[in-house]
Amino acid sequence: MPLLKSWVASANDATHPFPLNNLPYGVFALSDEEPRCGVAIGDMILDVTAAEAEGVITLTDEPLFDLPFWNPLMEQGPAVWAALRDRLTALLSEGATEQEVVEPLLVPQSAVVMHMPFAVSEYTDFYAGRHHAFNVGSMFRDPENALPPNWLHIPIGYNGRASSVVVSGTDIRRPWGQLKSPDQDKPAFLPSRRFDFELEMGAIVGTPSDGPISVQQADDHIFGYVLLNDWSARDIQAWEYQPLGPFQAKATATSISPWIVTKPALEPFRCDTPEREFELLDHLKDCGPMLYDLSLEVTLAPEGQAATTITRTNYSEMYYSAAQQLAHHASSGCPMNTGDLLGSGTISGPTRDTRGSLLELSWGGKDPLSLETGESRSFLEDGDTLTLSGSAQGDGYTIGFGTCHGTVLPALEDPLKP
């Protein structure tokens, strides 16, 4: 599909992340106004809340955009999702007859603050990147036994904290936790000394389910995708994870990008999952291309200094797609809700410069990563800013997600003081 031309000039730039082909959904606010729903088009935002109030957009008898999150639209299902996209495309296309009506509803992106784009119902994070799982298993076991026996058969995951999901730009406080090194007799309650990022994609459930669903149904239920940073305290995790897996190590925060890129925008970039060593069981079998060719990048900027690109990889490296993760999640009869967020798991490639966490990039701290500033990093230091970005390259256009960034703040001096 080639670039769709818009009367918003900036949307026709081949390198701009928000062309008419994209139309991602977010929640924004001007300094003196309440947050409202908006759609990115070039360097502008179409105020969808105002457009609905003025009758420019009418999809149902009841308003869908009078609340500052996209869940009401998500609850309507694929037919209404498609109707909105068609209406937005008609309003913003080059030669649109209603340009004079729509133009006053545009707001410069540079003038707004972005908010959480949807209300997170529940959050599940997966461990579905093979290179990441192999690297971690090699570090803590050995390469011959790097993958657990179940890993090539099911997407492994854990239930995280929806309350800790925050929008890009939110500062992240270094957590305190219970730590114990192998050379210590007993644990201590201290600030994390091995704080890390994880490069992931997040899939957002639109259509709810109340029972098992197929992989194809699961794919149809997904509303869209965001960039996701699963902040992780590796030292807290090392002490707590046996026998039930991550808990407080992953509860500090999970950052997401402010724009939801919907599935129609990503359709031209579908690609297959990797070749399988074992045939998957019926409820997980691939039913077509379920991954996306999305280039991903992470930069690290020490406080007051320039950023260094520390990894480049691709979402196509995943072993299990979001649809397979969702189908497996629902296979026990587990109800899935509108607004559920599924983290992909860390996205790493086969070489050092494609690894999606500092744990891997520094190989557990044994081989620190050199930055262009002359510094090195084994794990994150106070003042570090991590920025995730992602995009797909089309025929004369780019589909982007914006950025997902956060800065590490020092730990509280005494977390037990009221």
- Gap between the Cα atoms of 99 and 55, Å rounded: 14
- Gap between the Cα atoms of 379 and 360, Å rounded: 10
Q: Which domains can be identified in the chain, with CATH numbers?
A: 9-115 (2.30.30.230), 123-409 (3.90.850.10)
Task: Give me the pLDDT at residue 413, please.
Answer: 94
388 near 346, Cβ under 8 Å? no
Task: Give me the pLDDT at residue 159, please.
Answer: 95
Would the pTM of this model clear 0.85, i.e. be above it? yes
Token pair 């192999």: residue? 134
Please give the positions annotated as active site: 132
Residue-wise pLDDT tens digits, 224-251: 999 999 999 999 999 998 888 899 999 9
Helix (H, G, I), strand (E, B) or coil at 88: helix
Residue-wise pLDDT tens digits, 214-225: 999 999 999 999
Residue-wise pLDDT tens digits, 25-59: 999 999 888 999 999 999 999 999 999 999 999 99
- As a whole number, mean pLDDT of residues 147-164 equals 96
The pair of structure tokens assigned to 378 is 């084994």
Task: Give me the pLDDT at residue 214, please.
Answer: 98
What pairing do the DSSP bridges indicate for beta strands 123-126 and 341-343?
parallel
Confidence of residue 359 (pLDDT cuts 50, 70, 90): very high
Helix (H, G, I), strand (E, B) or coil at 171: coil
Task: Give me the pLDDT at residue 181, please.
Answer: 84
392 near 399, Cβ under 8 Å? yes
Non-local CB neighbours of 33 within 8 Å, separated by 6+ positions: none
- Gap between the Cα atoms of 200 and 167, Å rounded: 14
